[in-house]
Structure 1
Amino acid sequence: MEKTTQKTKKINSATLNGFEAKKVEVESSFTKALPGFSIVGLGSQSIQESKERVKSALLNNDFEFPPLKITISLSPADLKKEGSHFDLPIALSILYHNKDINLNEYLVLGELGLDGRLKDTSSIFPIVLSLKPKKVIIPIESASKVSKIPEVEIYAFSHLKEFEDFNFTKIENSEFNYDFIKVNDKKYYYLSEFKEDFSDVIGQNDAKEAALYSAAGFHNLLFEGSPGVGKSMIINRLRYILPPMSLEEILEVEKLNSLEGKEITFKPIRPFRMPHYSSTKAAIFGGGSRGAKIGEIAFANKGVLFFDELPHFQKDVLENLRLPLQERKVLISRVNSKIEYETDILFAAAMNPCPCGNLLSLYKECRCTDLEIKRYKNRISEPLYDRIEIYHKMIEDDSKDIISSKEMFEKVLVAFEMQKGKFNANLDENYKFNLDSDAYNILKKAIKNFALSKRAEFNTLKLSKTIANIEKREKIKKEDIIKALKYRRRPSI
C-alpha cells in the first residue's frame, strides 16, 4: 500500500525542568497507514494519557479525528517532559493538520477536559514567567495570573470550539492595586496590613530594635534566650515589616507558590518558611534520587528562613547553610539534571542558652552541667555564627514600652529608599563605606579588642550603614558602629 506523509506540523510548548522552563517543539506527522496515535519524546504518564483526553475532546465537539497513523514527537527527545498542559498543542496539531495555519509565533499551553473545556494547570504560570514569550495561547482560567507578567501578549480561550474560526482575542495585561513607593523610577509594592503586630510584644525593646535593623537591611538574625521570653513571637512578626517588593520579586515568589500548589494572590508579602528541626538535608536544600527538586531554602527566596531551636537541626544541615548564606545561591547536581537557584534570604534563628533552657533566666535555675552546655553550643560552628550579623541575648522583661509594626515599617521604608531598592546585607566586598573619623577610630579599636575577622568587620560595617540609613544618613557615625557592635556575638573563651 502506498504511504504518503503529509507536511509536518510544529507547535511551540514547554516543560518545567526544576523550576525553570525549557522550550519543547510539538511535532506531528500524519501517515496513510493503519490508524494509530502515539506520543514519543520522554513524555510522562500524564502526557501519555493526553491521547485519550485529546481524542475525546475532538470527537465530542464534532471535529474530525483523522483515520491515519498519528505520531506526536516532543523535541528535544532527550529531555524529560511532564504536565497535562501539552493537551492543547497536541489537539491543535491534529485540528489544523490539513489547514495552512501557522502557530510558530505562539507558546501554546493548556489542559483539555473530555468535553473540550480548557483548564488551568499549576505549571502554566511558572512556564510563561520563566520563558517570557512574546505571545501565548492559554486557557481563560490562566489569564488572570499570566496577565500580571509584563510584555507578554495573551490570547485566552475557554473551549476548544473557539479555535474553529481561528479568531483570537487579545487579553490586556493587568496592573497591581497595592500601595507602592518609587525608587529610581521603579515601583516597589507593599501591604499596610499587620496580621501579627509588634504592639503585642510587651517590653524587649532591644530585641525589637534588632528585628528592625534586620528587616531594614535584610541582615541575618539570631536570638538566644530562655523559653517564653518572646524569641519566636518577635521573629514571626518580622515578616510583616520586611521591605517592599518589586514586580519581578512578586512574580518570582508566586512562581514558587504555584509549583508548591499554593493559591496565587500576588500580594506583596515576602515568604516566611519555618521548617522543623527534624527536617532532612534534602528537605532544606533540595535533592532527590531521580531528579533535582528544590527545598525550603529556595521557597524562602526573597523572604525569611526561620530555624527555631537552632542547635537541634542536624549538623550537616547547619554546616551546609554557610555557602548559601555567603554566595546567595545553591547548586543541586544529579545524574540527569542540575539546578542552580537563588537563596537571597534573611536567615532568622532562635535558640535556648542551654539544653534545659534556663541558663539566662532571672527566675529559674539551670540544671545543665558545663559539659552539657558546651556540647549544646558546639553544635553551631563559628563560621556559621560569623555569617549572622545580628545576635541578641534575651532575658525576661517586664517593661511596658510598646512600639507598633506600623511605626517600625515606616522606618524600614526610610532605610529602603536610602538603599535605593537594594539591601545592605548584599553589598559587595569592595564597597566603600562612608565613615567619619570617630567611627573609623572606634571600628579599629573594636577590630583589635574583639579580634574581629574580615567578615565580622564587613558585617559590622553593613549593619552600621543600615542603622545610619534609618536615620536618613549615608555617613556612618560613631554611635552607629557602637550599636552594630552591641549586636555582635562575642565567642566564649
Structure 2
Amino acid sequence: MKIIKSAVQELIDATVIDVEASFTKGMPSFTIVGMVSTNINESKDRVKSALLINDFKFPPLKITINLSPSEISKKGTHFDLAIALQIALFDEQKLEFGDYFFFGELALDGTIKDTSHIFAIVLSLAKKLVLKKVVVCEQSAEKLANIRNIDLYVVNSLNSAIEFVKSDEKEKFIYKKEQKKYKEIEIFDEKYFYDTNYLEDFKDVLGQDMAKYAALISAAGNHNLIMEGSPGCGKSMISKRLQYILTPMSLDEILEKAKLQALDYKDVDFTPIRTFRNPHHSSTKSSIFGGGSSNAKMGEVALSNSGILFFDELPHFPSNILEALREPLEDHKILISRVNSKVLYSTKFIFVAAMNPCPCGNKLSSIKECRCNELEIQRYKNRLSEPFLDRIDLYLVMNDSFNDNKNIVTSAELHKSVIEAFIRQKQRGQTELNGKLSDEDIKKYCILDEESRDILEKARVNYALSFRSINKVLKVARTIADINGNEIITKSDLLKSLNFRRR
C-alpha cells in the first residue's frame, strides 16, 4: 500500500499523518475516514472536480482514504493534494512517495493553494527534525523558505504534482528565492536581526524625558512597565513606539512569531519587529488567556509571546483578568486545561500598561481641576492589588508639562542604546534578558558593589520591600548598568532603579 505523508496541527504542535488509500470492488463510492472534520470531508468534491477537469479517470471502485493515526482529530484543507495523488496514481503500484511531505488545498480546476496552517505545521515538524522534504505550491514556499534545514519543492497544479512524483529529476522543482536582508549582529555564532525603519518615532513625543528613559530600560531588559498620568500626556504614544526599539530577534524568534500569526489567521511576516497586542478592557477572560469549551485556544497572552502586551486604561480591566495575569507575569508560562486538551504556552512578553491617576483623570493635571473625592480615588486605585503591582518592574508617574522639550530623542538613538545593552547581556552568557532572569541567574549576573549593597539593605527596611521586589530592583539596576556600560551595578544604577519602584 502506498503511503503519502502529511500532517495536522494540534494546538501549537504538529503530528505526522499517513494518507492511505484502498480501492476495492463494489458499489462505487468515495469515503474519507480517520476522525476527520467537515472541511476534510468536503475535499471529496474538490478532489473529484480537479481530477475530472484534468482528464483523469475517477476509478469506478469503492475508494476509502484513511488518515492515520485514526484517534487524532484532523481538520484542514491541506490534505487535498495528498488525497488527490492517491486517487490519480492508484494504478501506479510501483511508484513510491518516499519521505516527501505533501501539503496544499485544491481549487476545482486542480490549482494548488496555500492554507493558513501549512507554515505552522512545517515549522513544528522541522523543529522536531521530523521533516526534511516538503512539496507545496509557490505561495506556501515563499513563507516556508525562511525555515532552516528543509528542502522545498514547488508544484502549482495537480498535473505538476503528478509530474514531480513520476520524475527522476526532482531537483528541477526545488524552490530558490533571495531572502530580504535585515541588519544583523552575531554573538557566539548566533545571528540576531533588527529593523531600522521606525514607523512611529519617539521624536514625536514632546517632553517626558523620564518616560522615554523608562521605555529605554523596558526595551533593553524586557521589563514590565506601568505609566500613570493625565489623559493626553503621552502614555499611549510611548507604548506604541516601544515596539520598534525592542531587542534584536533570533531567527527562531522570528519564525515563532510568524507561527503565532499563522495560528491567529493573520498575514505572516518575517520582519524582526516584535509583536504588539493591545486588547480592549471589555475583552473576555478567554480571549486574554485562551479557552474554548472543549479545545484550548490561544489568547492574547500567548499570542504576545516575545513581544508586548499593552493594557490601556488598566484599572478598567476586570479584577479576575488582572489577578490571573500574575502567573504568566511571574512564571512566563500558562497552562490552559480543557476536557479534551491541556496545553502549556510560553508567555515571555513585556507587559506595558497605561492608567489615569483618578476616575476623571485630572488629579495630576496642572491646568484642569480634579472632580473626584478621596473615596473615589481610593476605590479606583484599589482595583490594582499589591500582588499584581509587585510583578511590575517599572512604575512611572508622568506629568502633563511639555516645557522640557529641549532634549529631542529619536527612536534610532534609543534603539542603538538598546542594542548595545542587548549585546552586553548576551556576551555575559545570558540566555534570558535581565527582566526574565531566574533567581539563580540574578545571583550570578546582578552583582553589586559594596556601597550599593548597603543602600539596598536600607531600602529593604525603609520601603518594606518583599523578596520579589528586591529581585525586581536588582534586574532593573542590571539593565541600567548595561545601558551605562558598567560591568557591576553601581550606586547610581541602583538609585535609579529604586526611583522606579511604586511608592
Greater CA drift, 447-456 or 252-261: 252-261
Q: Which of the residues 4, 9, 12 maps onto 2:5?
A: 12
Identity percentage of aligned residues? 52
**Cα pair 1:416 1:422 within 8 Å, conserved:** no
Q: Output the CA distance in 2 between the equivalents of 1:67 and 1:9.
A: 19
Matched residue, 2:495: 482
**SS in structure 1 opposite 2:258?**
helix
Q: Which of the residues 21, 24, 31 maps onto 2:17?
A: 24
Matched residue, 2:422: 416
Q: Which of the residues 429, 440, 465 maps onto 1:430?
A: 440
Q: Which of the residues 226, 231, 249 maps onto 2:230?
A: 226
Q: Does 1:445 align with 2:458?
A: yes
Which whole-Å deviations, capped at 9, do the CAs of 1:89-110 have from their partners, x for residues lacking one?
A: 1111112222222224122111
**SS in structure 1 opposite 2:439?**
coil
Matched residue, 1:96: 89
Q: Output the CA distance in 1 between the equivalents of 2:295 and 2:100.
A: 29
Q: Which of the residues 179, 186, 189 maps onto 2:183?
A: 179
Matched residue, 1:406: 412
Q: Which of the residues 115, 140, 143 maps onto 1:142?
A: 140
**Cα pair 1:277 1:310 within 8 Å, conserved:** yes
Structure 1 unaligned regions, length at least 5: 1-7
Which whole-Å deviations, capped at 9, do the CAs of 1:282-314 have from their partners, x for residues lacking one?
A: 010010113211111111111000000000001
Q: From the superposition, tell whether residues 53 and 388 of structure 1 become closer, same or farther in structure 2 (CA, over 3 Å).
A: same
Matched residue, 1:116: 110
Measured after TM superposition, the shift of residue 253 of structure 1 is 0.7
What is the correspondence of 1:314-329 to structure 2 with a 5 Å cutoff? 314-329=318-333
Q: Which of the residues 292, 301, 314 maps onto 1:310?
A: 314
Measured after TM superposition, the shift of residue 9 of structure 1 is 2.7
Q: Output the CA distance in 2 between the equivalents of 1:129 and 1:318.
A: 33
Measured after TM superposition, the shift of residue 428 of structure 1 is 1.5
- Amino acid aligned to 1:307: F
What is the correspondence of 1:237-386 to structure 2 with a 5 Å cutoff? 237-386=241-390
Q: Output the CA distance in 2 between the equivalents of 1:262 and 1:474.
A: 42
Q: Output the CA distance in 1 between the equivalents of 2:148 and 2:394.
A: 38
**SS in structure 1 opposite 2:357?**
coil
Q: Output the CA distance in 2 between the equivalents of 1:474 and 1:275.
A: 39
Which whole-Å deviations, capped at 9, do the CAs of 1:141-161 have from their partners, x for residues lacking one?
A: 211110110001111101111
**Cα pair 1:150 1:173 within 8 Å, conserved:** no
Matched residue, 1:126: 120
Which whole-Å deviations, capped at 9, do the CAs of 1:129-184 have from their partners, x for residues lacking one?
A: 11111111111221111011000111110111123332332224754411111122
Q: Which of the residues 466, 479, 483 maps onto 2:479?
A: 466
Q: Output the CA distance in 2 between the equivalents of 1:482 and 1:11.
A: 64
Which whole-Å deviations, capped at 9, do the CAs of 1:49-87 have from their partners, x for residues lacking one?
A: 101111111121122321111111112222221111010
Q: Output the CA distance in 2 between the equivalents of 1:80 and 1:16.
A: 10
Measured after TM superposition, the shift of residue 187 of structure 1 is 1.1
**SS in structure 2 opposite 1:73?**
strand
Greater CA drift, 73-82 or 216-225: 73-82
Q: Output the CA distance in 2 between the equivalents of 1:335 and 1:395.
A: 49
- Amino acid aligned to 1:441: D
Runs of 4+ residues deviating >6 angstroms: none
**SS in structure 1 opposite 2:440?**
coil
**Cα pair 2:254 2:271 within 8 Å, conserved:** yes
Matched residue, 2:49: 56
- Amino acid aligned to 2:174: K
Greater CA drift, 27-36 or 343-352: 27-36
Q: Output the CA distance in 1 between the equivalents of 2:333 and 2:70.
A: 30
Q: Output the CA distance in 2 between the equivalents of 1:427 and 1:328.
A: 11
Matched residue, 1:190: 194
TM-score (ref. length: structure 2): 0.94
Matched residue, 1:4: none
**Cα pair 1:465 1:474 within 8 Å, conserved:** no
Measured after TM superposition, the shift of residue 19 of structure 1 is 2.8
TM-score (ref. length: structure 1): 0.96
Q: Which of the residues 86, 107, 111 maps onto 2:79?
A: 86
Q: Output the CA distance in 1 between the equivalents of 2:285 and 2:190.
A: 38
Greater CA drift, 57-66 or 345-354: 57-66
**Cα pair 2:81 2:105 within 8 Å, conserved:** yes
Structure 2 unaligned regions, length at least 5: none
- Amino acid aligned to 2:455: I
- Amino acid aligned to 1:423: L
Q: Output the CA distance in 2 between the equivalents of 1:174 and 1:42.
A: 40
**Cα pair 1:9 1:29 within 8 Å, conserved:** no
**SS in structure 2 opposite 1:430?**
helix
Which whole-Å deviations, capped at 9, do the CAs of 1:213-269 have from their partners, x for residues lacking one?
A: 000001000001111111111111111111111111111111111222322231111
**Cα pair 2:359 2:372 within 8 Å, conserved:** yes
- Amino acid aligned to 1:137: V
Greater CA drift, 275-284 or 254-263: 254-263
**Cα pair 2:460 2:470 within 8 Å, conserved:** yes
Matched residue, 1:206: 210
Greater CA drift, 70-79 or 31-40: 70-79
**Cα pair 2:13 2:121 within 8 Å, conserved:** yes
Q: Output the CA distance in 1 between the equivalents of 2:115 and 2:161.
A: 20
**SS in structure 1 opposite 2:124?**
helix
**Cα pair 1:353 1:359 within 8 Å, conserved:** yes
**Cα pair 1:38 1:70 within 8 Å, conserved:** yes
**SS in structure 1 opposite 2:56?**
coil
Q: Output the CA distance in 2 between the equivalents of 1:142 and 1:228.
A: 44
Q: Output the CA distance in 1 between the equivalents of 2:382 and 2:161.
A: 66
**Cα pair 2:313 2:356 within 8 Å, conserved:** yes
Q: Output the CA distance in 2 between the equivalents of 1:330 and 1:452.
A: 27
